[in-house]
Structure 1
Amino acid sequence: MIRYLLDMSRSRKRLVSLAYDFVAIPLAIYMAMALRYGTMNLNITENLVYTAAITALVTSAAFIRLGLYRAVVRFMTERAFTSLMLGIAISALTLATSAFLLQAAVPRSSIIIYTFTAYMFLGVPRLFVRGMVAQLIKSNAEPVIIYGAGKQGMSLVHALSSSEFYRPVAFVDDSRKKQKTSIQGLKVWPSKQLDDLCDTYGVKKILLAVGKTNMQTRKHLIEELAERKLEILITPSFGDIISGRAKIEEVREVDIEDLLGRDCVAPNSTLLETSVRDKVVLITGAGGSIGSELCRQVLMKKPTKLVLLELNEFSLYSIEQELQATNEELKLSVPIVSILGSVQKQNRLETIFKTFNVQTIYHAAAYKHVPMVECNVVEGVRNNVFGSWYCAEAAITSGVERFILISTDKAVRPTNVMGASKRMAELVLQALSTRQTDTLFSMVRFGNVLDSSGSVVPRFRKQIKEGGPITVTHPDIIRYFMTIPEASQLVIQASAMAKGGDVFVLDMGEPVKIVSLAKKMIHLSGLTERTDINPNGDIEIQFTGLRPGEKLFEELLISEDVEGTEHPRIMTASEVHLNWPETHNLLNRLDKACHNFQVDKVISLLQEAPAAYDKQNDCTDWVLNEPNSL
């Protein structure tokens, strides 16, 4: 019957509710008078019938006016029941008035009794339906345990009360004060009882609601839970909930950022705004992983104008749409200009910079995928070295105040063309800083960013989703990781401290073993690793060997000459570089070698530069190694 009612159309449900109320109100009057006289054998006069009919009509009209028939019974809130009480009060007043005017035999005491019988006939069925529907829904919902019985945990239980997906069965909390208590009908257990609770209720998922715990504590807790072969879901942060970006019930899978991340250092607002606020800011490679996040961060600081330069049309369209939506939603009123173009065309770059009076440039455009650049040496050098040079020369000609190169840890003692080309780009900017001082050049060097287009994390996620195997190049390979938002914020803050030719190095925290990362991602998915010891596991890890030009570990510094800055996670390094005549001569020779497609000569010139380029393997360039190549 409940299923039949739930499947009816909204208009039919309203008609059923209205018809029921129209019948229930006279029954409530009859019951009130029966209770008053102490007998069911009442003398029902014509005037009493008219009185009951008038009361039913007026009450139904009041309920319509109060919106009771618009309220979905299964989701009725306290506010709806308050409206119901108000409607019953109007009904009692109508009963008293109509009985007086029609001289119906309705004792005054029965009107008071009527308020209770009316609630019994009108309110209790609604409560009953709501309860039955909740039980019906919950019977198919997955049982979950909420870890954390604080405010966030209690809010989560309340939010999930009408969820079709999750049914909370217990709290787990490490606070002894909360243990053995009952919160919103759920008992609070210590964490040592977790395994028993999972067996008792058949729980396979844990909802993490630990509020403002620091990153280290959260990381330890997630790792501990993941070892139990439980899938871990996490609630949004209070900041996202308060700002409206997320709802408490919008639980998500634990991202690897929750394990590799670290406690954030509050950004220095002065440093964030110096190069951006009230400036015309241009970002090259605006559609890339780092470039797009730089766009988001810069937009929030209200530049005079934000210019996006991107070679890929779809990437440019995507970030433009997102930024325009943010612009309108937050009423920032920042003009956004989207320009398709390559950083390898200096004349066009000068035109753009002069037209929009650009003051700050974040140069994120580059080819960053190591194996891809190894197989396309000339284009990799053209984009990373000459693209940076032409962009920098255009900035000088156009009177740009600050130019910030987004560099990489692979530029330190590189073993691949990509790293060598990025180090060469650094040398170009350092040399240009000795040639002139009007434009402040600086570069910011950091390691891998999580979820970037070239990161292992998205690839591992895809491989896990497909059932494996996860492919890792080497069991001992190590990398530094940082979240994209943190890296972008630090880049903007570093640019404010530039004096000319600065090499800024970001504190990347502790290095991460990639095979350990793969294992953690398997556990976080509630799966197990398949090994010789555990042949029935879910996901296997396979080692494929180092790719051309790949290093076992990356470094951030060429020399040990490093100093701190006013930001605890930004350092500045003093490193060897060439003067401008030497750099210019090297660039001209490199340009000629690229033009003639002399790949070996290009690599030789990169080795000649003070980039400490240590070529590890034979060149894998596709064109060079094609048997039919000229």
Structure 2
Amino acid sequence: MKRFKARWLSFSAFAFDLFAVALAWMLAYVIRFNGPVPAPFWSSGLHALVWVLVIYAVMFRSYGLYRGMWVFASLPDLVRIAKAIGVGAVVVVIGSALLQPAPVVPRSVLIVSPMLLFLSMGGSRALYRAAKEFYRYGGLVGQGKPVLVLGAGNAGANLVRELKRSGEWRLAGLLDDDPIKQGREIYGYRVLGAISDLHKITAEMKVEHVIIAVPSASVEAHRRIATLCVRAGVRAMTLPALTPLTQGQAFLSRVRQIDLEDLLGRDPVTIDTQHVEALLKNRVVMVTGAGGSIGSELCRQILRFGPVQLVAFDVSEFSIYRLNEELRDKYPEVSVVPIIGDAKDSLLLDQVMGRYCPHIVFHAAAYKHVPLMEEVNTWQAVRNNVLGTYRVGRAAIRHDVAHFVLISTDKAVNPTNVMGASKRLAEMACSALQQGAKRTQFETVRFGNVLGSAGSVIPKFQEQIARGGPVTVTHPEITRFFMTIPEASQLVLQASSMGHGGEIFILDMGKPVRIADLAHDLIRLYGFTEEQIRVVFTGLRPGEKLYEELLADDETTTRTPHPKLRIARAREVPDSFIDNLLPWLMQHRVPSDDEVRRDLRRWVPEYQPGTSPALRSVGSATRAS
């Protein structure tokens, strides 16, 4: 039944077009003679119309004019019509010259009739589509939520075309920073002004929703526009860049809500996959702290490069269970070995490395929460972060592991807290181990905060907003570096493929972000005002800095082939460093917090607990915003 209906519609369209040929041909005669046509010319024209109809019928079928549906008629259909009519008109001229009807077909008829035919065929299809769309969508126009489109380029134009048919949205206009486009119209909708005028225009027009349609713009431009939207108090959505997976997909279906990453504006990371693949493909890879935020993402990224086996080592049973289930589901072809164990357990480490013989070990196991490690748990932080690193490193040397990569932190630079000092001490332990290692290369990768990591400030803010506030920030001027977890993990892999032993790689963290601005933006991002959810400043916590650094004062950096990686040449450690450090780490007592801080100052001279300029400048920081 459906096939019969389709054939009937195709035949009807074909018959209409032939009728249009006849009408255009006869109307051209009327125009030529400016009214009544002399009988001889009329008779000659009707006789010629027979072969003219045959020519155009063949052209229409040859150019596939009936494969498309009139309700979706568009520019490609008009191009096909133009080609068919153009070629048909040329053949008609040739036929007229060869057949020489008497009287001859006037030249003006041969020129005017194709023009009339194109207008009738193209116009009828356009009218049919307009009428059908008005019937389908006309009753919905003006009933949806008002929305502005930011960007009047190709993506914005395509979005406008889809919004015209939407019952959910009512397009109020467009904004674009290009002065040439301002004041112009796209499909009947005006470009009202610049994107920088967003706050004023949305307030005047009472618009609460915008769609950012600049998928090809730079990351910095995206960040600026997303920030303007959040601070204008509108609910913003964005149209991501077109990818092979989304080609052909409707523009509206690809629109998503803007998120925190849009506000931070991180450039996408590109890595030298060839070198990373050479390091990991068909190798056994071991990750300690594999259940954590960075460790688990490292495992995901590593498996993209085809290792023969992944040893996932973590002290948390639940984290390893969850990771193991995920990786087995996504990468069933790779053997994943889940190991529950403590990084300080030398016997277990020897057993695991002796059995699986990893080519490279990523050591991500660490205690990283500054306030928790600053009081009561100071000795646990030192033992886990330093002794754990030493024992995993020693096991790697004993079992001829080719590469050992320590995941460090920006808090290891001029540390003011126990966690940062312990990570700096772990870096120094790796430097000392490198001096005695013959086959194992030790590299350290140092970076700042990652979005969404366990214990980071972002999940805390999100929970506080969900509870209705207030959102607590320690100090109005505190800043931090941020990057995404996948970005950090990819750069760790890139750094590990470039190391020759002993380097400290510094990841490009971009510009530091004021945490107070981040809190305000998150509140607006979730649709609240600062009157509904307040930001309260509570004062810096023990060991906390106003700002973080990625390099110590007397360290220098050198460039690498990758633009987001630099190498810091850290201070050398004495040959006796490990021999002196181990007795302290393995003492049979738990020293007090003050003792731990005192001894850390001996091992890490730059460690200054509670005396950084940031802490001295705090004073009384508690106030509400």
Q: TM-score, normalised by structure 2?
A: 0.71
Q: Which residue of 1 aligns with 2:310?
A: 306
Corresponding position: 1:383 with 2:384 = yes
Distance 1:199 1:498, change over 3 A: closer
Q: Which residue of 2 aligns with 1:263?
A: 267
Q: Which residue of 2 aligns with 1:610?
A: 604
Q: Do the aligned partners of 1:240 and 1:246 also contact (CA within 8 Å) in 2? A: no
Q: Do the aligned partners of 1:473 and 1:544 also contact (CA within 8 Å) in 2? A: yes
Q: Which residue of 2 aligns with 1:174?
A: 177
Q: Do the aligned partners of 2:285 and 2:307 also contact (CA within 8 Å) in 1? A: yes
Q: How many residues align?
A: 497
Distance 1:458 1:596, change over 3 A: closer
Between 1:602-611 and 1:548-557, the stretch displaced more is: 602-611
**1:253-332 mapped onto 2 (5 Å cutoff):** 253-264=257-268, 266-327=270-331
- Structure 1 residue matching 2:493: 3-state secondary structure: helix
Q: Do the aligned partners of 1:284 and 1:363 also contact (CA within 8 Å) in 2? A: yes
C-alpha displacement of 1:165:
4.9
C-alpha displacement of 1:247:
7.6
Letter in 1 for 2:264: L
Q: Distance in 2 between matches of 1:81 and 1:325?
A: 44
Q: Which residue of 1 aligns with 2:106?
A: none
**1:130-529 mapped onto 2 (5 Å cutoff):** 131=136, 135=139, 141-157=144-160, 165-176=168-179, 178-180=181-183, 182-183=185-186, 186-191=189-194, 198=202, 202-239=206-243, 241-242=245-246, 249-264=253-268, 266-327=270-331, 333-375=333-375, 376-529=377-530
Q: Which residue of 2 aligns with 1:579?
A: 574
Output one character per residue of 1:381-426: Cα deviation in whole Å (capped at 9) or x when no partner: 2221111111111111222110100000111121111111111111
Q: Do the aligned partners of 2:71 and 2:132 also contact (CA within 8 Å) in 1? A: no
- Structure 2 residue matching 1:378: 3-state secondary structure: helix
Q: Distance in 1 between matches of 2:527 and 2:415?
A: 38
Distance 1:194 1:436, change over 3 A: closer
Letter in 2 for 1:267: I
- Structure 2 residue matching 1:170: 3-state secondary structure: strand
Q: Distance in 2 between matches of 1:292 and 1:162?
A: 44
Between 1:244-253 and 1:501-510, the stretch displaced more is: 244-253
C-alpha displacement of 1:432:
0.6
Q: Do the aligned partners of 2:198 and 2:228 also contact (CA within 8 Å) in 1? A: no
Q: Do the aligned partners of 1:590 and 1:605 also contact (CA within 8 Å) in 2? A: no
Q: Distance in 2 between matches of 1:448 and 1:520?
A: 18
Distance 1:547 1:204, change over 3 A: same
C-alpha displacement of 1:467:
3.2
Between 1:367-376 and 1:568-577, the stretch displaced more is: 568-577
Q: Distance in 1 between matches of 2:133 and 2:561?
A: 64
Q: Do the aligned partners of 1:423 and 1:611 also contact (CA within 8 Å) in 2? A: no
- Structure 2 residue matching 1:592: 3-state secondary structure: coil
Q: Distance in 1 between matches of 2:583 and 2:250?
A: 54
Q: Which residue of 1 aligns with 2:595?
A: 601
C-alpha displacement of 1:440:
0.6
Alignment match of 2:546 (pick from 547, 552, 558): 552
Gaps of 5+ in 1: 1-16, 29-77, 83-122, 530-536, 618-630
Distance 1:325 1:186, change over 3 A: farther
Q: Do the aligned partners of 1:284 and 1:308 also contact (CA within 8 Å) in 2? A: yes
Q: Do the aligned partners of 2:387 and 2:585 also contact (CA within 8 Å) in 1? A: no
Q: Distance in 1 between matches of 2:198 and 2:580?
A: 68
C-alpha displacement of 1:240:
7.4
Q: Which residue of 1 aligns with 2:81?
A: none
Letter in 1 for 2:301: Q
Q: TM-score, normalised by structure 1?
A: 0.70
C-alpha displacement of 1:550:
0.7
Between 1:547-556 and 1:262-271, the stretch displaced more is: 262-271
Distance 1:243 1:386, change over 3 A: farther
Letter in 2 for 1:378: W
- Structure 2 residue matching 1:143: 3-state secondary structure: strand
Q: Distance in 2 between matches of 1:477 and 1:131?
A: 55
Q: Distance in 1 between matches of 2:253 and 2:581?
A: 59
Letter in 2 for 1:432: L
Q: Distance in 2 between matches of 1:174 and 1:508?
A: 29
C-alpha displacement of 1:252:
3.0
State the identity as a percent: 41
Gaps of 5+ in 2: 13-67, 73-127, 612-625
Distance 1:244 1:355, change over 3 A: farther
Q: Distance in 1 between matches of 2:365 and 2:441?
A: 19
Letter in 2 for 1:357: C
Q: Do the aligned partners of 1:577 and 1:610 also contact (CA within 8 Å) in 2? A: no
Distance 1:438 1:235, change over 3 A: same
Q: Distance in 2 between matches of 1:435 and 1:313?
A: 34
Between 1:411-420 and 1:517-526, the stretch displaced more is: 517-526
Output one character per residue of 1:61-91: Cα deviation in whole Å (capped at 9) or x when no partner: xxxxxxxxxxxxxxxxx87979xxxxxxxxx
Letter in 2 for 1:224: L
Q: Distance in 2 between matches of 1:443 and 1:326?
A: 29
Distance 1:143 1:315, change over 3 A: farther
Corresponding position: 1:592 with 2:595 = no
C-alpha displacement of 1:543:
0.7
Q: Distance in 2 between matches of 1:281 and 1:159?
A: 48
Corresponding position: 1:567 with 2:568 = no
C-alpha displacement of 1:213:
0.5
C-alpha displacement of 1:463:
2.7
Q: Distance in 1 between matches of 2:248 and 2:497?
A: 32
C-alpha displacement of 1:507:
2.1
- Structure 1 residue matching 2:576: 3-state secondary structure: helix
Q: Do the aligned partners of 1:522 and 1:528 also contact (CA within 8 Å) in 2? A: yes
C-alpha displacement of 1:508:
1.8
C-alpha displacement of 1:139:
7.2
Q: Distance in 2 between matches of 1:164 and 1:383?
A: 58
After TM superposition, what 4+ stretches of structure 1 lie above 6 angstroms from structure 2? 78-82, 161-164, 243-247
